[in-house]
Amino acid sequence: MGLLNKLDDPYYGGGIILGKVEDILNWGRSKSDWYLQFGLACCAIEFMAVNASHFDFMRFGCIPRTSPRQADFIIISGTVTFKMAERIKVLYEQMAEPKYVISMGSCSNCGGPYWEHGYHVLKGVDRIIPVDVYIPGCPPRPEALEEGMIRLQEKINKQAIFNKRKRLAEEEKQELIIDN
Amino acid sequence: MGETKKVEFEYSQIDSERMRLNVGPQHPSTHGVLRLEVELDGEIVTEVIPHIGYLHRCFEKHCEKMTYPQVIPYIDRMDYICAMNNEWPYVMGIEKLMGIEVPEKVEYIRVIFAELNRIANHQIAIATFGLDAGAFTPFLYLFRDREFILSIFEKASGGRLLYNYYWVGGLAADVHKEFKEDVLSIVKQVRETNKEIADLLLYNKIFIERVANVGILPADVAISYGCSGPVARGSGLAFDLRKDAPYSIYDRFDFDVVTGHGEVGTVGDCFDRNIVRFHEMEQSCRIIEQAIEQMPMDGDVREKLPKKIRPPKGEIYTKAENPKGELGFYIVSNGTDKPERIKSRGTSFVNLSVLPEISKGYLFADLIMILGSVDIVLGEVDR
Amino acid sequence: MQAQEIYEKLKAEFGDAIIEFNAEPFFDPFVLVTTDKLFDICLYLRDTQGLEFDYLSCLGGMDYKENLGVVYHLYSIKLKHTFVIKVTVSKENPFVPTVERIWRTADWHEREAYDMMGIQFEGHHNLIRILCPYDWENFPLRKDYVQPDEYHGMKVPY
Ligand code: SF4
């Protein structure tokens, strides 16, 4: 959204920005997302690689937290089995609002290579928790995960904070009018 | 005044309240989705019950439904850290059943890639072991080096992690032109980093205090539990399938089987298991150098690929030395293009079963170190 | 030691308990034994000088359509030779004696065979499911297995 660009702009000068409080809050929120340190399968190894020196995930402001209570988002990195699905649900419920989910890899998107004969594999994590960003690939390249992170930041930037219900209701009304 | 009664007791007889603690399946130090049910007496571990199966992906069921070449990607996903090594015993078994002789060049490339992947696996093992002990810097160094190895794999196979590269009768693609130079530069880099890691982590006094004399696994227990790989070798057992049952062309190379000998503590402790991994990286470097020297650069890696993979009716148990130990496949063929049954002997599955035995009587914090030193991959435990 | 010699040794010791010796091409040579003598045979293989199979490489349950079976792959670390034993049991009465007390690694392998195939190992100290959830129904690796429709409210098929 380019808050910093505005500061550089001579016409805005003096380091003063005029903007909505919501935008500033969202800017802060999107640039310091903490994720739950949680890996499931092969994709988790790529996830580890993203955390390490070559790809440096921390430059997105992402810091691993070991407790779901402190995490802003969770990356489902790998195959979700039925034995694990219930635990993932619990983990998700333990996270504080607002919370986001990135589904990394074909397995957690739709069952991946195990979609047909995998009697013990949940075909898509979105059957138990809502997902914000899907990253395709088996495994997705680290760059793809970073792109997914950027997409999540974009999503957070667009979110409404104040008068959310009222605004949503208004939007719905508008939509109804348009539909009719 | 009445007599005072003297009460005698021994310290060990005081029974404090037992506590049951649940570790995992989401826990930063369980290396995946493993759940441990731990019974504690104070801070002493009295019992560990591993609960596995949180990543059970029905590998053996898939094998029965897929054709032989289609099984290879699933094998990659068993032990996803060293996928190259995983594919090898499987394709070797089918080649044996079908009587295919693979070309020289293929054998050399297979050896080189398997050893490179062994290095990559040990790098992860040592890095995460350090992470468990609270050392973050070695993790960054080792993962940096791992990326170089992965880039070579990527040039050859197109995949960073899961390759589908060893095919029955050959390889999926040839290596690039500057292959030899690239590999040698990686070997040089690995050696350099290893020196640093030895100073930074392995022979660090704090680290030694933490891991020496912890989690001792005697050799006879290791055999009885079926341990293999660095876990068995750490107990002083010179058990390495590359030497004991030489497959492929391993008999052409000169290398040592590294065993633990209680350098800073007792034979078979966590330190020994780890130092075995560390020295094995050097041995792998030696194998790679010899292989690069002997390897012919001309020849077609795909010339022996069979048109139809349909092994005759039969059964075979093939095994190879994975970075983690003996990986075996029991392949039953019924003469069609789909296997009747494939039973895999997951290395980590067997190695993990020794955990309850070796972690009894240590502190709870040591349990984390012991688990790290066994080096498991949950994909292979649960399959 | 070659499989043939091991077989002769076993035959001399156990007689009728050894049903069959198979050394056809494309097969790892194996012997088929009866279940009631299985424990003794395994103990003999482990403890006899010259055999010393101290390492159980692999233990797998099998489904041969009409009946079930268990395959034991043995290895000797000292003498570096291998051997294969098989037993078969009927589907209605799948009882096999445990070898957990001979090789401790058999503990988890047998639990897995029970979990996947439904083979009951008599005398096993803790024969419960290991990979599937504890309340899973049926044995997935049997050839006639059909996927359930639902598990704890989650849909199983794609
Ligand atoms: S998407 Fe592919 S790489 Fe990722 S967990 Fe699934 S099988 Fe493994």
HEC string of A51-82 equals HCCCCCHHHHCCEEECCHHHCCEEEEECCCEH
Task: Tell me which residue has tokens 């891991």.
Answer: B211
Q: What is the 3-state secondary structure (H, E, C) of C95-126?
A: EEECCCCCCCCHHHHHHHHHHHHCCEEECCCC
Q: Do A139 and B378 touch (CB under 8 A)?
A: no
- Closest alpha carbon to B82 in B346, B341, B287: B346
Nearest CA to ligand 1 atom 3: A139
C-alpha B320/C-alpha B89 separation (Å) is 5
Q: Are B232 and B241 in contact (CB under 8 A)?
A: no
Q: Which residues of chain B have pLDDT under 50?
A: 1
Instruction: Scan for tokens 């022996």, then name that residue.
Output: B304
CA-based nearest distance C126→chain A, Å: 20
Q: What is the structure's pLDDT at A10?
A: 60
DSSP C64: -
Query: Which residue of A46, A56, A83 is the best one to mutate when testing the B interface, meaning the one whose CB has the most B CBs within 10 A?
Result: A83
Q: What is the largest CA-CA distance in chain A?
A: 64
What pTM was computed for the model?
0.88
Specify the pLDDT at position A170: 77
Q: Report strand pairing: B35-41 vs B326-333.
A: unpaired
Q: What is residue B2's predicted lDDT score, i.e. its pLDDT?
A: 54
Q: Which residues in chain B are closer than 8 Å to C156, comparing Cβ atoms?
A: none
Q: Can you tell me the distance from the alpha carbon of B242 to that of B248, in angstroms, rounded to the nearest whole number?
A: 9
Q: Spell out the domains of chain B, with CATH numbers in brackets.
A: 71-354 (1.10.645.10)
Q: Is the peptide bond before A98 cis (omega within 30 degrees of 0)?
A: yes
Chain B residues with beta carbon closer than 8 angstroms to that of C105: 224-226, 350, 353
Cα separation of B306 and B100, whole Å? 9
Cα of A138 to ligand 1 centre, how many Å?
A: 5
Q: Supply A156's token pair.
A: 């957070």
Does the C-beta of A113 come closer than 6 Å to ligand 1?
Answer: yes
pLDDT at C45: 86
pLDDT of residue B7: 59
Is the preceding peptide bond at C157 cis, omega within 30 degrees of 0?
Answer: no
| Ligand 1 touching residue A124 (CB < 6 A) | no
Cβ–Cβ contact C155 with A under 8 A: yes
pLDDT of residue A15: 63
Atom of ligand 1 nearest to the CA of B57: 7
- Kindly identify which residue of chain C lies nearest to residue B327, measuring between CA atoms: C57
Tell me the average pLDDT across A131-148: 89
- Which residues, at least 6 apart from C75, have a Cβ–Cβ distance to it below 8 Å? C53, C55, C56, C57, C81, C82
Residue A79 Cβ < 6 Å to ligand 1: yes
Residue that wins the pLDDT comparison between C125 and B13: C125
Helix (H) or strand (E) holding A104: strand A100-104
In the predicted structure, residue A13 carries a pLDDT above the cut 70 = no
Q: What are residue B47's phi and psi, to 5 degrees? A: -155, 140
Determine whether the shortest distance from the Cβ of B77 to ligand 1 is under 6 A: yes
Residues of chain C found within 8 Å of residue B226, distances taken between Cβ atoms: 55-57, 103-105
Distance from C-alpha of C87 to C-alpha of C39, rounded to nearest angstrom: 11
Q: Is the C-beta atom of A115 inside 6 A of ligand 1?
A: no
User: Dihedrals φ, ψ of C74, to 5°?
Assistant: -110, 155
Q: Which residues of C touch A127 (CB under 8 A)?
A: 154-155
Q: How many C-beta atoms lie closer than 10 Å to residue B264's C-beta? A: 17
d(Cα B91, Cα B80) in Å, to the nearest integer?
17
Q: Between A21-31 and A142-157, two packed helices, what is the crossing angle to 10 degrees?
A: 160
Q: Least CB-CB distance to A120: which of B27, B58, B147? A: B58
Best probe residue, ligand 1, of A77, A114, A138, A145 (max atoms within 8 Å of C-beta): A138
Quote the minimal CA–CA distance from C133 to chain A in Å: 6
Output phi, psi for C84, to 5 deg.
-125, 135
B330 — phi, psi (to 5°)? Answer: -100, 105
- CB of A78 within 6 A of ligand 1: the answer is yes
- For testing the chain B interface, which of C52, C54, C55, C82 should be mutated: the one with the most B CBs within 10 Å? C55
Q: How far apart are alpha carbons B247 and B316 in whole angstroms?
A: 15
Q: Where are any strands of DSSP class E within B173-322? A: 314-321
- Whether A44 and chain B come into contact, CB under 8 Å, resolves to yes
Note whether C11 and C32 are within 8 A (CB): no
Q: Alpha-carbon dihedral of residues B218, B220, B222, B228, nearest 10 degrees?
A: 120
C-alpha to C-alpha distance for B340 and B66, rounded to whole angstroms: 10
CB pair distance less than 8 Å for A42 and B162 = yes
What is the pLDDT at residue A175? 73
Q: At what angle do helices A42-51 and A142-157 cross, to 10 degrees?
A: 80
Residue A123 and residue C148: Cβ atoms within 8 Å? no
Using CA atoms, how far apart are residues B309 and B23, in angstroms rounded to an integer?
Answer: 45
Residue A50 Cβ < 6 Å to ligand 1 = no
pLDDT digit string, tens, across residues A42-67: 888 888 888 888 888 888 888 888 88
Mean pLDDT of C150-157: 84
Question: What are C75's two structure tokens?
Answer: 């290895």
Q: Which residue has the tokens 């293989």?
A: C45
Q: Say yes or no: C141 contacts chain B, CB-CB below 8 A.
A: yes
In this structure, are residues B72 and A124 in contact, taking their beta carbons and an 8 Å threshold? no
| Spatial contact of B34 and B367, defined as CB atoms under 8 Å apart | no
Domain C3-155 fold is Beta Polymerase; domain 2 (3.30.460)
**Residue of A127, A102, A105 whose CA lies nearest to A114:** A105
